[in-house]
Amino acid sequence: MESHTAEIDEGAAVGMPYVLKEEALLAQAWRTQDRVEHERGVREITSQFGGLRQRIERLRAQTDTIWERFVTLTLERILSEQLREFIDDLNVELQGLNLHLVETDCEIDRMRARIRERRRWLGEKYTQLESLAHRTSTQNHINMMLARVEGLEAYLLGKKDVPPEAFEMHYKRHTTVPSDLLYLRIRLLTTRIASIASNRSRQLNELDAELGVQLPEAERLKAELATLITRVECMSELSRYWLAYLDISLEGANREGG
């Protein structure tokens, strides 16, 4: 008695073990826990972006306050001979502010790296699903199944209104009704796997696009933070300038007094 493997043709010769392997690959490619993990990760990223926006707004307000004091009180402190104390106090604030700015900048970098890593992970899942979705042509599978059904129908019912090649399929290929049914079952299962994989890969593509729009937001926050960092650096440079001015003035006064 011939085995089923010998009877099944056109890509179905591997039989049910092939289908079971494909189903296992499909189940592993995008599991429920993968979806849950991704959704949790996206929520965390969204929440952290909100926190970063609030933090940057606080840093902007703090920077604006220090800047306002610096540009309005420096001349007054020069005239009252309190510039050095004023600059020293200001520098303490600037150091603390600069530390928070650097920490926030690093946090944005970590966010960008996290988004890219999640997109890379989605890309791996997408590749696995695409290999299942495009391993064979769904339309080609349907055509082959239709031809086999026509041949099986003609064979069982003695119908003559089918293409001769379909009617003669059983004889030319030495197939039997059980092998035809197994063939159709395997083709239907593998076609279903390809269809599910195609739908899931399309969903992953959409998830990747949603993550992709987060990167420009990270760049915008990065640019806003760079403006604040530049202002702090500007105040630090001007503070060093005024301290140097005081030292030069003091040296000149000492020479004149001597």
pLDDT per residue as tens digits for the range 101-156: 999 999 999 999 999 999 999 999 999 898 888 665 666 667 777 777 766 776 66
pTM of the model: 0.72
Question: For 196-205, what is the mean pLDDT?
Answer: 91
* Band (7; pLDDT cuts 50, 70, 90): very low
In the predicted model, is pLDDT for residue 163 greater than 90?
no
* Band (192; pLDDT cuts 50, 70, 90): confident
pLDDT of residue 97: 95
pLDDT of residue 74: 85
DSSP H stretches of helix in the chain: 4-7, 16-29, 32-79, 83-133, 138-157, 164-167, 169-172, 177-212, 214-257
Any idea what the Cα angle at residue 208 is, between residues 203 and 211, rounded to 5°? Answer: 130
- List CB contacts of 159: < 8 A, sequence separation 6 or more: 153, 167
In the predicted model, is pLDDT for residue 170 greater than 80?
no
**What SS3 state is found at 165?**
helix
Ramachandran category for residue 153: left, alpha or beta (phi over 0 → left; psi -120 to 50 → alpha): alpha
Distance CA 164, CA 166 (A): 5
Question: In this predicted model, what pLDDT tens digit does every residue of 79-99 receive, in sequence order?
Answer: 788 888 999 999 999 999 999
In the predicted model, is pLDDT for residue 14 greater than 60?
no
Structure tokens at 154: 């003609």
| pLDDT, greater one: 191 or 49 | 49
pLDDT of residue 235: 93
Structure tokens at 158: 């003695």
Residue that has been written with the tokens 């603390």 in this structure: 96
* CA-based R_g, the chain, Å: 36
Distance CA 44, CA 118 (A): 12
